[in-house]
A and B are shown apart, each in its own frame.
Chain A
C-alpha cells in the first residue's frame, strides 16, 4: 500500500531531502556523543570531554557493566512481550495494542497468587515450587485473557479495514487498564518478599539472582517457543497461516483455531514476562503494561516484525539502548537530567530504525503485503 523507503528512480522531493537531513543529524549526534564519551573515559580533563559537558565524570567499568546487565534484563522482558506482538502481526497483520495489558494482567495474577501463597506460608517454605506455580497460573490466565480478547474484540472485525482492529485494540487496552483500577484499586501493589539468593549479588559476574533468573527463563522460553513454531504441527500451521491465510484454509488448516493458538501462545509469553517483572521489581500497578508494551512493540519493529529471533534481538537492543543511551550519548553532550529522557530515547530508537532501515534489523521480507 504505502511506500516504505524513498522511491528510487523518482525525483527527490523536499520531504526526501528533509529525511536525509534528519538521518545525517541523528547519526552526527550519536557519533559526537560517543566520541565525547570515549574522550571522557580516557581522561576527564580531556578538552574534548569537557567541550560540551564541563562536569564530565565518566563511568567506571563496574558501573558500565551494571548498566549493560540492567539493560539486558529489561530487554529480555521486552523481547518476551514482543514475541506476542510479532506473532499476531505475522498472522493477522495488525498491531494488538492491548498486548502490553496482557503482560500487566500476568504481573497482577502473579501478585495475587504469590500473596495468597505467602499467607499460606508456602512462599517462604518452598520458594521454587511456588514460583513455578505462579508462573503456570499466570500463563493460563494470560492465555485465557488473550483468547477472550481475540474472540470478543478482534474476530468480528476480521476483514475490515486495517485501522479498525487497531483502534479497537486501543479500546481494549484502555478498558483492561481501567478495569484493573476499579477492581484492584489504583495503588501500586507489592509482591511478597523474596529469598536472599534472589535479592543479593552473586559472585558470578557480580549479578543479582533475580537478573540471572530473568535472563535464564527468557532464554528457555524463547527456545521452547522456537521449537514449537518450527518443529510441531501447530507451529507449521501458524507459519502457513502467516504466509497466506486463504491458501492455508484451502490446505485444510483450521485458520480460526490457529489464530486462537497464536493469541494463547503470545499471552503465555506475556504472562511469563509478567512474573519475571514481578520477581525483579516486586511491585505492580495498572500502568505496568502500557509503556513496556509500546517499547516491546518497538522492539518487534526494530527486530523486523514477524521474525521471532528478531523480536528477542530487538528487545535486547531497545533495553540496552534505553539503559546505556542517555548516559553514553546524551550526558557527554551536556544534557542534564538524562534519565528522565530514557523513554524518549526508546522512542527515538524506534523512529531512527524506521528511518534508516524500515524493515528492521532482521526483517528480510517487507511485511507490506496487503491483508485487507
Chain B
C-alpha cells in the first residue's frame, strides 16, 4: 500500500498540482494548499494500514503501538516517493516529455534547500503523517471525532475562504473575518489554533447530539414524522430564500451555477437513477433548451425571431425538447443498456455538430452562436439576467423546487414504481404487464424537459449561446454528479451538485476551489472510478438502489449471520464528513 501511495505521490507532484496550488495559503504562513495535497496521502495510508476487515470467525486484535509503527513505515514509504523524485530531479532532465519536471518543483520539495534535505525531509514528513494516522486509529471514537472535526473545520474554513468572507460581509461580520484571515488569503495561524480548539470543544460537547436528533426524527411515527419533515423542508427553504439577500455576487453566482446543475442532475436522475437508462448524451437536451430559448427570445436570432417573452418561450421550449426527447428516445429505447449509452452519446454529439454547422447557421448562428439574448422577464415583475446573479438564483431555485416536487411525486407514483421495476428487471416488469417501451420513453421525455429548464435559464443568464458550451464533457460531469451524490436519491443528487459543482466547479464554472480548475477533470475521473469501486450507491444512497447494488453481499451476510449487518465503525461518520471534503 505504501508503494502504491508513493507512486501516487510522485504522480501528484509531477502533475504540477503542488507548484500550482502553492500560491494559495491555507494557514498563514505555515501551510499552503500545494503542500496540503502532498500531506493527505501519507496520512491516509497511515490510517488505512491499520484497517481490519471484520470477518466472522477471524479474531480481531486490539489496536496497539503497532499501528503507529506501521503507519510510520507506510507514510515514510509514501513520502519516500517524493524523496526519490527529488534525487531524480537533480540528476536527470526529463522535461522533454514531462512538462512539470522543473527546478521549481525541486525547489518546492526541498523548501529552497539542497536536494539531500528534500530527500530526508519527505521521509520524515511522510513518516510523521503516517504515524499521526496510526495514532488517530488508536484514539477512542470520542477523541477521534474531536480531532477529525478540528482538522476538518480548520481546513474547511480555510479552503472555503471566499464563501465565508462573502457571507460575513453580507451579515456585517467583517471584523471577525478580518481577524480570521490574513490579507489576501489564508487563515492566520493564531486564529487557526483558536478555531481548532473551539471546534474540538464543540465536537466533544455536541457529540452525538445531531445523530440523536436524527434517530429521534426517524423513530417518530406517521403524522408527527411528516410534521417534522415539513418543518425541516420549510426551514431549508427559508434559509435558501434568505441567504442570498445577505450574500454577495460571488456566492449568488455560485449558488446559481449549483442550481443549474441541480436541475440538470435531477433530470438525469430520472433517466439514470429511476429508470436505469444510462444516457451519455444528456447535454443534448440542455443544448436544445438553450438554443430554442435563444431563438425564441433573442431579437438577433438569424432566421426567425419571434421575440417572445421568456415565460411564453419556455412553454414552447418544453414542447420542443419533449419532442426531441421522443425523437432521440424512440430509436434507442429498445437497445440494451451499454449500446444505448454509446448511441445517446452519439446523438449528443450530432446535436452539437448540427448547432455548430455552417449548414444550419442560418438558423442557429453556427460558430458565431446567438448573442444579445434578453433577460428573462417574469410576469413583468422582474428581469432575470446574468448581471444580477441573485435573481438568477431565485429563478433557478423556483425551478429546482418544481423539479424536486415533480421527481418526488413521480418516484412515489405508479409510473415511478414502474420505472424502478424496469430498472431492476425488465423481463419481470414486462411480465407484470408494464409497457416497458412507453414507460422508458416517458422517463426520457421527463428528463429532457427538466434539462431544458436549465438550458432556458442558462441562455438568459449568460446572454448568449455558443455550441462550445455543449460538449460531451458536460454530460459526463452531470453523470459524475448524479453518481457521486447517489443515483435515484433526490437529496443525494442535490448534495452531489453542491459538493462537486460548488467546491470543484462545473465544466466551465469555477467553484470555490478555483485554483483546482486545471485538475478538476482529473479529479472527476478519479472520483468516478473510486466511487464505483468503493461506494457505488453514492454519497447519500437511496435505500432501494443500495439493496440492488449490494444484493450479492447482503445475501451472503444474511446467510452468514441470519441478518444484515452494519457498516464497519470507521465509516460511520462518512456521510457527514466526506461531504465537506472535495
Least Cβ–Cβ distance between B464 and chain A, in angstroms: 21
Q: Which residue of A lies closest to B475 (CB)?
A: A170
Say whether B525 contacts A175, CB under 8 Å: yes
Q: A4-B335, A15-B437, A159-B552 are known contacts. Are A172 and B525 too (CB-CB below 8 A)?
A: yes
Q: A160-B536, A337-B359, A343-B353 are known contacts. Are A15 and B476 too (CB-CB below 8 A)?
A: no
Q: A174-B528, A294-B342, A348-B350 are known contacts. Are A3 and B334 too (CB-CB below 8 A)?
A: yes
User: Please, how many angstroms separate the alpha-carbon atoms of A22 and B328 in the complex?
Assistant: 11
User: Please, how many angstroms separate the alpha-carbon atoms of A163 and B479 in the complex?
Assistant: 13
Q: Which residue of A lies closest to B548 (CB)?
A: A161
Taking Cβ atoms with an 8 Å cutoff, the residues of A that contact B are 1-6, 13, 15, 18-19, 22, 94-95, 111-112, 115-116, 153, 156-157, 159-168, 170-179, 181-185, 294, 297-298, 301, 335-338, 340-341, 343-344, 347-348, 350-351, 354-355, 358, 368
B405 close to chain A: CB less than 8 A: no
Which chain B residues border A343 with CB–CB below 8 Å? 349, 353
Say whether A2 contacts B528, CB under 8 Å: no
Say whether B349 contacts A171, CB under 8 Å: no
Taking Cβ atoms with an 8 Å cutoff, the residues of B that contact A are 11, 14-17, 96-100, 276, 278, 280, 330-331, 333-339, 341-343, 345-347, 349-350, 353-354, 356-359, 426-427, 435, 437-438, 441, 476, 479-480, 483, 518-519, 521-522, 524-529, 531-533, 536, 548-549, 552
9 sampled A-B residue pairs with Cβ under 8 A: A1-B426, A2-B336, A5-B334, A95-B341, A159-B552, A160-B536, A298-B342, A347-B350, A355-B331
Which chain A residues border B528 with CB–CB below 8 Å? 167-168, 170-171, 174-175
Least Cβ–Cβ distance between A156 and chain B, in angstroms: 6
Q: Which of A115, A175, A338 contacts B96 (CB 8 A)?
A: A115
Say whether A340 contacts B524, CB under 8 Å: no
Q: A347-B347, A351-B346 are known contacts. Are A15 and B330 too (CB-CB below 8 A)?
A: yes
Say whether B14 contacts A171, CB under 8 Å: no
User: Please, how many angstroms separate the alpha-carbon atoms of A157 and B100 in the complex?
Assistant: 34
Which chain A residues border B359 with CB–CB below 8 Å? 335-338, 340-341
Which chain B residues border A350 with CB–CB below 8 Å? 342-343, 346
Say whether B99 contacts A184, CB under 8 Å: yes
Which chain B residues border A344 with CB–CB below 8 Å? 349-350, 353-354
Q: Which residue of A lies closest to B534 (CB)?
A: A156
Least Cβ–Cβ distance between B172 and chain A, in angstroms: 42
Q: A19-B331, A175-B522 are known contacts. Are A337 and B533 too (CB-CB below 8 A)?
A: no
Q: A335-B359, A336-B359 are known contacts. Are A171 and B99 too (CB-CB below 8 A)?
A: no
Say whether A163 contacts B476, CB under 8 Å: no
User: Please, how many angstroms separate the alpha-carbon atoms of A358 and B343 in the complex?
Assistant: 12
User: Please, how many angstroms separate the alpha-carbon atoms of A355 and B99 in the complex?
Assistant: 46
Which chain A residues border B345 with CB–CB below 8 Å? 294
Q: A2-B336, A18-B330, A94-B338 are known contacts. Are A183 and B437 too (CB-CB below 8 A)?
A: no
User: Please, how many angstroms separate the alpha-carbon atoms of A78 and B278 in the complex?
Assistant: 25
Q: Which residue of A lies closest to B424 (CB)?
A: A161
User: Please, how many angstroms separate the alpha-carbon atoms of A164 and B337 in the complex?
Assistant: 11
Q: Which residue of A lies closest to B483 (CB)?
A: A167
Say whether A15 contacts B522, CB under 8 Å: no
Which chain B residues border A181 with CB–CB below 8 Å? 521-522
Say whether A183 contacts B479, CB under 8 Å: no
Say whether A183 contacts B99, CB under 8 Å: yes
Least Cβ–Cβ distance between A56 and chain B, in angstroms: 16
Which chain B residues border A22 with CB–CB below 8 Å? 330-331
Q: A177-B525, A343-B353 are known contacts. Are A163 and B99 too (CB-CB below 8 A)?
A: no
Q: Give 8 nearest A-B pairs by CB, closest first.
A: A171-B528, A337-B358, A175-B525, A174-B525, A347-B346, A182-B15, A178-B522, A185-B99
Say whether B338 contacts A95, CB under 8 Å: yes
Q: A13-B438, A167-B483 are known contacts. Are A340 and B357 too (CB-CB below 8 A)?
A: yes
Say whether A341 contacts B353, CB under 8 Å: yes
Say whether A167 contacts B532, CB under 8 Å: yes
**Interface-central residue, A2, A162, A173, A301, by most chain B CB under 10 Å:** A2
Which chain B residues border A335 with CB–CB below 8 Å? 359
Least Cβ–Cβ distance between A110 and chain B, in angstroms: 12
Say whether B336 contacts A351, CB under 8 Å: no
Say whether B330 contacts A19, CB under 8 Å: yes
User: Please, how many angstroms separate the alpha-carbon atoms of A273 and B335 in the complex?
Assistant: 30
Least Cβ–Cβ distance between A167 and chain B, in angstroms: 6
Which chain A residues border B334 with CB–CB below 8 Å? 2-6, 15
Q: A163-B337, A175-B525 are known contacts. Are A168 and B533 too (CB-CB below 8 A)?
A: yes
Least Cβ–Cβ distance between B334 and chain A, in angstroms: 6
Least Cβ–Cβ distance between A219 and chain B, in angstroms: 27
Say whether A178 contacts B357, CB under 8 Å: no
User: Please, how many angstroms separate the alpha-carbon atoms of A173 and B521 in the complex?
Assistant: 11
User: Please, how many angstroms separate the alpha-carbon atoms of A160 and B534 in the complex?
Assistant: 12
Given contacts A171-B532, A174-B528, could you give 19 more A-B pairs where the C-beta distance is less than 8 Å?
A1-B337, A1-B427, A4-B336, A15-B333, A164-B549, A166-B337, A170-B528, A171-B527, A174-B476, A174-B525, A176-B525, A294-B345, A297-B342, A335-B359, A340-B359, A343-B353, A347-B349, A351-B346, A354-B343
Least Cβ–Cβ distance between B285 and chain A, in angstroms: 17
Q: Which residue of B lies closest to A187 (CB)?
A: B99
Least Cβ–Cβ distance between B548 and chain A, in angstroms: 7
Which chain A residues border B276 with CB–CB below 8 Å? 163
User: Please, how many angstroms separate the alpha-carbon atoms of A164 and B483 in the complex?
Assistant: 10
Q: Which of A19, A297, A336, A355 contacts B358 (CB 8 A)?
A: A336
User: Please, how many angstroms separate the alpha-carbon atoms of A351 and B342 in the complex?
Assistant: 10
Q: Which residue of A lies closest to B533 (CB)?
A: A156
User: Please, how many angstroms separate the alpha-carbon atoms of A324 and B341 in the complex?
Assistant: 27
Q: A168-B528, A354-B339 are known contacts. Are A340 and B358 too (CB-CB below 8 A)?
A: yes
Q: Which of B330, B350, B356, B518 contacts A182 (CB 8 A)?
A: B518
Q: Which residue of B lies closest to A174 (CB)?
A: B525
Least Cβ–Cβ distance between A185 and chain B, in angstroms: 4
Least Cβ–Cβ distance between B442 and chain A, in angstroms: 12
User: Please, how many angstroms separate the alpha-carbon atoms of A160 and B98 in the complex?
Assistant: 37
Say whether A294 contacts B346, CB under 8 Å: yes
Least Cβ–Cβ distance between B418 and chain A, in angstroms: 16
Q: Which residue of A lies closest to B523 (CB)?
A: A178
User: Please, how many angstroms separate the alpha-carbon atoms of A112 and B345 in the complex?
Assistant: 32
Say whether A182 contacts B16, CB under 8 Å: yes
Q: Which of A15, A160, A171, A340 contacts B525 (CB 8 A)?
A: A171
Least Cβ–Cβ distance between A321 and chain B, in angstroms: 14
Say whether B529 contacts A168, CB under 8 Å: yes
Say whether B526 contacts A171, CB under 8 Å: yes
Which chain B residues border A94 with CB–CB below 8 Å? 338
Which chain A residues border B350 with CB–CB below 8 Å? 344, 347-348
Say whether A368 contacts B342, CB under 8 Å: no
**Interface-central residue, A95, A156, A170, A175, by most chain B CB under 10 Å:** A170
Say whether B358 contacts A161, CB under 8 Å: no
Which chain A residues border B483 with CB–CB below 8 Å? 167
User: Please, how many angstroms separate the alpha-carbon atoms of A301 and B335 in the complex?
Assistant: 12
User: Please, how many angstroms separate the alpha-carbon atoms of A338 and B353 in the complex?
Assistant: 11
Q: A15-B441, A175-B522, A343-B349 are known contacts. Are A112 and B552 too (CB-CB below 8 A)?
A: no
Say whether A95 contacts B522, CB under 8 Å: no
Q: Which of B16, B280, B427, B536 contacts A164 (CB 8 A)?
A: B536
User: Please, how many angstroms separate the alpha-carbon atoms of A111 and B96 in the complex?
Assistant: 11
Say whether B331 contacts A351, CB under 8 Å: yes
User: Please, how many angstroms separate the alpha-carbon atoms of A164 and B529 in the complex?
Assistant: 10
User: Please, how many angstroms separate the alpha-carbon atoms of A213 and B208 in the complex?
Assistant: 70
User: Please, how many angstroms separate the alpha-carbon atoms of A160 and B334 in the complex?
Assistant: 22
Which chain A residues border B356 with CB–CB below 8 Å? 340
Q: Which residue of A lies closest to B422 (CB)?
A: A2
Which chain A residues border B479 with CB–CB below 8 Å? 167, 170
User: Please, how many angstroms separate the alpha-carbon atoms of A43 and B345 in the complex?
Assistant: 40
